[in-house]
Structure 1
């Protein structure tokens, strides 16, 4: 059998030659591609001596510049502070024995103002055992029941509060007289409560004494009338003299009885128990806390009232204190609210070692009245004590801060120093001193050329320095000064 022929052998001679030429062309093309790839790889990894030298040469230096500015230069101190009330008052009632009330635990029976609510003069805050607790304007904490016949500065404080609330009181200043009783009675009536009385509810326990005193006056008056009749009927000098003597005694008894009645009237009736009011030193005020729920036994302190416009307090280190003084302007920022306010430093205190009660006013939460008399304990905490040692600082805002600020942490920016008007300002790194001690800055032109300008340095603040070019040299806002290279 003859051997099989290949595919090429079965093709015509011209077609076979064409296929061979195509194969040769493909082989040549593939070889050229391989040579090109090899050359490319070699060009990446093979470097000439000139390239090696260029790679080892340091890069051209970079010149850092900053523009000269013309502005007011201010030196700022950044602090953190807390918004607190100008002061606070604690109040806890104690059983008022002077009212003839029965002994027993005091119970919170009503909440008329919720915690966080605004307090106005004359507001009823809560009810304790059915009786109101009234906020009255006054700078000094109360320390005793105020009763008819009492005298003192605290009575004058009550009279001022009553007048401020619109109740006429023409009694002598500092004397709890009949007109003060009338004003207190009106204060309670307008709020829907029976006025408290020295004789208990409706003055019942005083009525017997008053009745007896009035009867004594009546009896004495009758005795005077009888003595006069006896004298008028007497015959003879001896009888007339004896009758006049008896009339004199009767008139003395009548005078004594009348004085006793007047004194009893002057010292009984409408009163103001310490358990039913609290003096608040400043308004606006805010009821910060109510310590208890309706039906609970009263615990101390029952109420805490934030009094006066909010302030910002903080504590300074020695370094911070050295830069600040009272009267400096302050920018306040509450980042969480996105709000700002302005103020000024009003108090820069002496060094303290931490929390203290130096700001407390007379009185203490839950204590009794003066000389052991029963009533409500009242006290005030002043500025919030700081928890760390340092120099306490108080900032008073120019306008009243919004209520949501109270208790928040704020950013405090104090303007510690300021230039007198706009000055030329450069970064502190642009100023250099030569061997001769003279200071200068280097100005870089658009071409890259640098020229040294002697300057006099002024105040510095926040990384910038005020500069003045030496006579014969020019430095202007917008010039580029070298700050590094």
Structure 2
């Protein structure tokens, strides 16, 4: 009885221990993956936008390098910087002197045509019209001259402008007026010749009238003819002399050397850098100035450029003053370029070290202090425009026949498939439109994935789609 009782006791203890002690194989089996659960996200109704975010640099619409020609040195000497009234960062107004080279000014005027020739009296062209407009805006009228013709009124206006900045204008001729003096002397001589010829003709007529009737009048008649011919020639010579005098007077006067003017497209302009110091020789650049509205240049890669087109809205954020400014995409380059990426450019280059230049125009003027600064650029590449049904991109599944659908989770762990068409995508979301009206509503839970990698028995929805050869859209 004791043996039986002891055996029974140990058997019970073994059974109890077996309930608590597990083999490694059993523990591994019980640690298998749990039954998978479905991940869902609610359907939203809102405006969907697709943005391109990059870095850009604020630049002026026009940048000009001031590099006066050797002619600015005067007297044939090597040109040197004699005065620097402006420093980097200064504002420039039209008519102001930027720098002085060997005693001669280099000033700024408003205009888009660069100074490519010396403008002298008698010159004609678009650049002359630009000079007349610039002088007129400064209060020096050229109204009596024909537009685009450097006449007497333009000469006076230019001379008065030079006087207003404290300089004598250069002379268009280098003979100290000798040509005009000679032409004037020729006109006086021609006028006297005409007077003498008129007197001779009068005398010839008087002599002809004194010849008695019935006598030979041939000699007196010939004398009259010769006197008239002499007078006609004298009058022609006087006319020629007068024309030469007018040409000499028109050519005389002040000129505007190309080396003394910088035409800028807009004001106020800014001094970017000053490379010349008083006494230093004039090199390739003594100053750089920028003018016109501030715009933003940025570079995008080959994938991003396909999303962009002129007129798209954008936003410029300047960390310097923490201000946001609306903008519009002004232009998109059709070919990649590495231009604009210097050693001091902190932006990361696009793929391959190159990118497509994109120019943005701010909706309101940027502060002048932002010129040359790095800013953040956000371009709205696409937008639904109005509120649409929005789902995560992982919720959209594509079938073999090009159809798209989403799977909606229903109560009691059910699912239903809703065929849709894609409107636009961006930021990991897709705007969709159900093919069957009302089949999809805001708040519906769409399946975006599962929590486990292994399939669970009885799974449907995306698992069924995968067996049918479908793939999740990306």
Point out the more displaced range, 263-272 or 222-231: 222-231
Match in the other structure for 1:324: 308
TM-score by length of 1: 0.73
Where 1:258 maps in the other structure, the secondary structure is: helix
- Listed as ranges, the matches of 1:142-153 within 5 Å are 142-153=115-126
Counterpart pick for 1:90 among 54, 58, 65: 65
Where 1:86 maps in the other structure, the secondary structure is: strand
Between the two proteins, the alignment pairs up a number of residues equal to 403
Where 1:341 maps in the other structure, the secondary structure is: strand
Do structure 1's residue 268 and structure 2's residue 234 form an aligned pair? Answer: no
- Listed as ranges, the matches of 1:56-455 within 5 Å are 56=31, 64-96=39-71, 101-169=74-142, 170-199=144-173, 205-234=175-204, 235-236=207-208, 237=220, 238-355=222-339, 388-432=353-397, 439-443=405-409, 449=413, 451-452=415-416, 454-455=418-419
Q: Report if aligned partners of 2:333, 2:356 keep a CA contact under 8 Å in 1.
A: yes
How far apart in 1 are the matches of 2:271 and 2:369? 14
Cα offset, 1:80, TM superposition: 2.4
How far apart in 2 are the matches of 1:71 and 1:272? 62
Q: Report if aligned partners of 1:220, 1:251 keep a CA contact under 8 Å in 2.
A: yes
Q: 1:354/1:430 Cα in 2 relative to 1: closer, same or farther (>3 Å)?
A: closer
Q: Report if aligned partners of 1:345, 1:395 keep a CA contact under 8 Å in 2.
A: yes
Where 1:323 maps in the other structure, the secondary structure is: coil
Where 2:306 maps in the other structure, the secondary structure is: helix
Q: 1:244/1:431 Cα in 2 relative to 1: closer, same or farther (>3 Å)?
A: closer
**Long gaps (5+) in structure 2:** 1-18, 209-219, 341-349, 452-474
C-alpha RMSD of the superposition: 3.3
Cα offset, 1:481, TM superposition: 4.4
Map Cα deviations across residues 430-459 of structure 1 (whole Å, 9 max, x no partner). Answer: 3456899662334376xx856445352523
TM-score by length of 2: 0.74
Q: Report if aligned partners of 1:330, 1:413 keep a CA contact under 8 Å in 2.
A: yes
Q: 1:57/1:110 Cα in 2 relative to 1: closer, same or farther (>3 Å)?
A: same
Map Cα deviations across residues 2-36 of structure 1 (whole Å, 9 max, x no partner). Answer: xxxxxxxxxxxxxxxxxxxxxxxxxxxxxxxxxxx
Where 1:260 maps in the other structure, the secondary structure is: helix
Match in the other structure for 1:16: none
How far apart in 2 are the matches of 1:64 and 1:49? 37
Cα offset, 1:302, TM superposition: 2.6
Return the index of the structure with the highest Cα Rg: 1
How far apart in 2 are the matches of 1:473 and 1:214? 98
How far apart in 2 are the matches of 1:83 and 1:423? 36
Q: Report if aligned partners of 1:453, 1:469 keep a CA contact under 8 Å in 2.
A: no
